Amino acid sequence: MTFHHLRLSHHVSTFAAGAALVLALTACGSADPVVGGSNSSPVVLGTAGNYVILAKSGIDTVPPSVITGSLGLSPAAASFVTGFSLVADATNVFSTSTQVTGRVYASDYAAPTPSNLTTAVGDMQLAFTSAAGRTPGVTELGAGNIGGMTIAPGIYKWGTGLLIPTNVTLSGSSTDVWIFQIAQTLTVSSAVRVNLAGGALPKNIFWQVSGLVDLGTTSHLEGIVLGATSISLRTGASVNGRLLAQTAVNIDSATVVAPAN
Q: Is the peptide bond before 112 cis (omega within 30 degrees of 0)?
A: yes
Q: What is the pLDDT of residue 28?
A: 30
Q: What is the pLDDT of residue 35?
A: 59
Residue from 40, 34, 41 nearest 18 by CA: 40
Q: What is the pLDDT of residue 261?
A: 80
Cα–Cα distance for residue pair 184/187, rounded to 1 Å = 10
Q: How many domains does the chain have?
A: 1
Q: How much is the CA Rg of the chain, to the nearest whole Å?
A: 19
Q: What is the pLDDT of residue 40?
A: 81
Cα–Cα distance for residue pair 130/240, rounded to 1 Å = 22
Asked whether residue 28 is assigned to any structural domain, the reply reads: no
Q: What is the pLDDT of residue 13?
A: 35
Asked whether residue 66 is assigned to any structural domain, the reply reads: yes
- State the residue range of the domain holding 99: 42-261
Q: What is the mean pLDDT of each run of 10 residues along the chain (261 residues)?
A: 35 34 33 57 98 98 98 98 98 98 98 98 98 96 98 97 98 97 98 98 98 98 98 98 98 97 80
Q: What is the pLDDT of residue 39?
A: 62
Q: Do residues 229 and 211 lie in contact, with contact meaning Cβ atoms separated by under 8 Å?
A: yes
Asked whether residue 6 is assigned to any structural domain, the reply reads: no
Asked whether residue 18 is assigned to any structural domain, the reply reads: no
Q: What is the pLDDT of residue 38?
A: 59
Asked whether residue 120 is assigned to any structural domain, the reply reads: yes
Q: What is the pLDDT of residue 203?
A: 98
Asked whether residue 189 is assigned to any structural domain, the reply reads: yes
Asked whether residue 145 is assigned to any structural domain, the reply reads: yes
Cα–Cα distance for residue pair 189/168, rounded to 1 Å = 11
**pLDDT tens per residue, range 195-252:** 999 999 999 999 999 999 999 999 999 999 999 999 999 999 999 999 999 999 999 9
Asked whether residue 52 is assigned to any structural domain, the reply reads: yes
Q: What is the pLDDT of residue 114?
A: 98
